[in-house]
Amino acid sequence: MEKLSPESWLVKAARPEEPGAPLNTPIIPSSNFLKGAGIQYSREDSTPTWNALETIVGELEGGECVAYSSGMAAAAAVFAQLAVGSKIAIADDCYHGVTKLAAEGQAQGRWRVQRVAVADTEGWKAALLDSDLVWLESPSNPLLVLADLQAIGSAPRKPGCLLALDNTVATPLNQQPLKFGADISMHSGTKYIGGHSDLLMGLLVAKDPGLASRFRHARLLHGATPGALEAYLATRGLRTLAIRLERAQTNALKLATYLEQHPAIENVRYPGVDSHPQHALARSQMNGFSGLISFEVKAGGEAADHLCNSTRLISHATSLGSVESTIERRSAQKGQEHLAPGLIRLSVGIENADELQADLEQALGR
């Protein structure tokens, strides 16, 4: 068979091929296996259910994939590769769990942390020369700032420095960091990959097979293994990722355009609109703009809370990347108090776009 497009690969890949086999990879809820074959114990050897998930994502990203029990477990596995006294450079706008992980490690004397603005290409180039781990997120969450992946990934770096990119917002369909020179692409599979708000999952994709082996060893020692059901659900989510993402992106562009014109809203951030200051960069390094929007309610935090509490179709809930649209005021979340009081994060789902816009319109008018 000729090499398939990513959209077809998602549907066809990693299915059993033996005559009479089930069309879907089975859920294997067993911790141990009879001796005599390659697999004995799930935590040590993986299972066919995990393998299907890892095969699909690894092929999309162009590396070897290792699945974890959550996105934070995957991130922690990267940080666990560092020796005491290492230096880390992380994005100034990135997932707050990673920010907290880095800060707590620094407070314990395990490493030193430098914050770099996501769009500061020269700052990242400098960090690559004197850091042991550079942790990027592009587009960032929640401010949707982009890093120039080509410029950063091709820059000289200190020997042994790992360049990692949280690719959760973009998804492996829209962006493949390893192709730009990153060593690691990380996903919270809880978000777009799973896509239905029903699982916790983390994924690391490594360019170097030796690094992937180290991640598997870290998973074994830390016990951060995904459950069989969660691995199956993530694989099932991948089968529909292309059409879910296409719909979410179409909806997001419509809503971002609407919000830009609303008198009660300012600072709409969505890489897919021409007004985004990095729209050209997004077009050059992404295949699509994903479904995440952030914007500010001019009247501040109280008005932003009122908006979130007034939507009917859009759910007032945290997280992103699912089939249902969710909305929340980010500075009301623990660890996000530094953000503008009126900042809203809107994860756009696959509902009818006109009805989503009407829901925002009625909520803003109440």
Q: What DSSP letter does each residue of 131-196 carry, written as one string? A: -SEEEEESS-TTT-----HHHHHTS---TT-EEEEE-TTTHHHH--GGGGT-SEEEEETTTTTT-S
- Residue 297 DSSP class: E
CA pair distance 91, 70, nearest whole angstrom: 20
What is the average pLDDT score of the chain? 96
- 287, part of any domain: yes
**Are residues 260 and 228 located together in one domain of the fold?**
no
Of 148, 186, 150, nearest to 169 by C-alpha is 186
Q: pLDDT by residue (tens digit) across 46-87?
A: 788 899 999 999 999 999 999 999 999 999 999 999 999 999
**Are residues 249 and 161 located together in one domain of the fold?**
no
CA pair distance 316, 309, nearest whole angstrom: 7
Among residues 239, 274, 303, the one where a domain terminates is 239
Among residues 239, 268, 295, the one where a domain terminates is 239
pLDDT category at 160 given cuts 50, 70, 90 is very high
Can you tell me whether residue 307 is helix, strand or coil?
Answer: helix
Q: Are 163 and 153 in contact (CB under 8 A)?
A: yes
Angle between helices 241-260 and 353-364 (to 10 degrees): 40
pLDDT score recorded for residue 312: 98
**Are residues 215 and 174 located together in one domain of the fold?**
yes
> CA triplet 276, 280, 281: central angle to 5 degrees?
100
Global pTM value: 0.96
Percent of all residues in the chain with a pLDDT value above 70, rounded to a whole number:
100
Can you tell me whether residue 316 is helix, strand or coil?
Answer: strand
Residue 337 has pLDDT above 90, yes or no: no
Q: Which residues are catalytic?
A: 43, 95, 166, 191
Can you tell me whether residue 56 is helix, strand or coil?
Answer: helix
**Are residues 150 and 252 located together in one domain of the fold?**
no
- β-pairing, 343-347 with 202-206? unpaired
Q: pLDDT by residue (tens digit) across 259-311?
A: 999 999 999 999 999 999 999 999 999 999 999 999 999 999 999 999 999 99
**Are residues 246 and 233 located together in one domain of the fold?**
no
Distances (CA, A) of 1 to 5, 237, 253: 12, 24, 36
The residues, ordered by sequence, that sit 6+ positions from 353 with a Cβ below 8 Å of its Cβ are: 250, 251, 254, 255
pLDDT top residue among 12 and 38 = 12
Among residues 189, 215, 239, the one where a domain terminates is 239
Mean pLDDT of 35-52: 84
**Are residues 217 and 255 located together in one domain of the fold?**
no
Distances (CA, A) of 357 to 262, 277, 321, 364: 11, 24, 18, 11
- β-pairing, 64-68 with 111-116? unpaired
Domain encompassing residue 65:
6-239
Beta strands in the chain (DSSP E): 64-68, 86-91, 111-116, 133-137, 162-166, 184-188, 202-206, 265-269, 292-297, 315-316, 326-329, 343-347
Q: Are 25 and 232 in contact (CB under 8 A)?
A: yes
**Are residues 14 and 79 located together in one domain of the fold?**
yes
Number of domains forming the structure of the chain: 2
Distances (CA, A) of 36 to 40, 43, 44, 165: 8, 17, 15, 39
**Are residues 232 and 254 located together in one domain of the fold?**
no
Token representation of residue 250 = 């179409």
Give first-to-last CA distance, the chain, whole Å.
Answer: 56
**Are residues 175 and 316 located together in one domain of the fold?**
no
What is the domain-level CATH number for residue 274?
3.90.1150.10
Token representation of residue 181 = 């020179």
What is the domain-level CATH number for residue 101?
3.40.640.10
- 1, part of any domain: no
